[in-house]
Amino acid sequence: MDKAERRRLAAALTIVDAVPTDPDSRWCRDRYFDELDARFEGGFDRDPGGAGGADGDADMAPPAGRFVLAFVADRPVGCGGLVARRPDNGPAFAEIKRMWVDDSLRGLGIGYRILDALEAGAREIGLDLVRLDSNRSLAEAHTLYRRCGYTEIPRYNDNPYADFWFEKRLGQP
């Protein structure tokens, strides 16, 4: 794909709120799980109730959560979800989950736009602390998170696939 085509695709990008169970949402999450299975050492357990927690993501639906899709024209090319976490021992935070961008379109700013929409969603539900976890094989995601102001923190969950944990305190939009 040449530079002009990449710019045209980036200009045609839209980010929309979605229901996690809609067909396009499921399609994107399935591609996300496929990629994790291919990239993670030992694969990824997507079975409901399994280690990957791929059990429908109902907690990403409003009013307490968010799920967004990225589209180029009518084609879904990325997704991301947000879950409100209100632990008994610690601050409430929004957790970013299921961030994915179609491999053929990486480098166009789609991940940044998804992340920005999820951060806006966190503000909308009244949370100014955002956290996420990530596997060591997702180096390009770590670069995005750091570039967007996320800092590495100690483990905050028991995700068996996570090697890194990040957080960001949101300022005013």
pLDDT in tens, 122-139: 999 999 999 999 999 999
What pLDDT does 6 receive?
Answer: 72
Residues 81, 61 contacting (CB under 8 angstroms): no
| Banded pLDDT at 19 (limits 50, 70, 90) | very high
Tell how strand 129-134 and strand 164-169 pair up.
antiparallel
> In what order do the strands lie in the sheet containing 93-101?
13-17, 65-72, 75-85, 93-101, 129-134, 164-169, 151-153
Residues 36, 135 contacting (CB under 8 angstroms): yes
Backbone dihedral region for residue 109 (phi beyond 0: left; psi -120 to 50: alpha; all else: beta): left
- Which of 50-84 are b and which e, b meaning 16 or more Cβ less than 10 Å from the residue's Cβ? eebbbeebebbbeeebbbbbbbbeeebbbbbbbbb
Q: In sequence order, what are the beta bridge partners of 83?
A: 65, 95
Residue 3 has pLDDT above 80, yes or no: no
Residue 145 has pLDDT above 70, yes or no: yes
Average pLDDT along the chain: 89
Residues 114, 150 contacting (CB under 8 angstroms): no
Q: Sketch the domain layout of the chain as residue ranges.
A: 3-169
Helix (H, G, I), strand (E, B) or coil at 35: helix
Higher pLDDT, 165 or 61: 165
What pLDDT does 47 receive?
Answer: 64
- Is the CATH number of domain 3-169 3.40.630.30? yes
Higher pLDDT, 146 or 173: 146
What pLDDT does 53 receive?
Answer: 58
What pLDDT does 99 receive?
Answer: 95
Q: Which of 77, 16, 26 is nearest to 56 (CA)?
A: 26
| Banded pLDDT at 5 (limits 50, 70, 90) | confident
pLDDT (average), residues 108-112: 92
Q: Which of 150, 117, 108, 116 is nearest to 133 (CA)?
A: 150
Residue 1 is which amino acid? M
Helix (H, G, I), strand (E, B) or coil at 113: helix
What is the per-residue pLDDT across 31-86, written as a single tens digit (0 to 9) for each? 999 999 999 888 787 765 555 555 557 889 888 899 999 999 889 999 999 999 99
What pLDDT does 86 receive?
Answer: 92
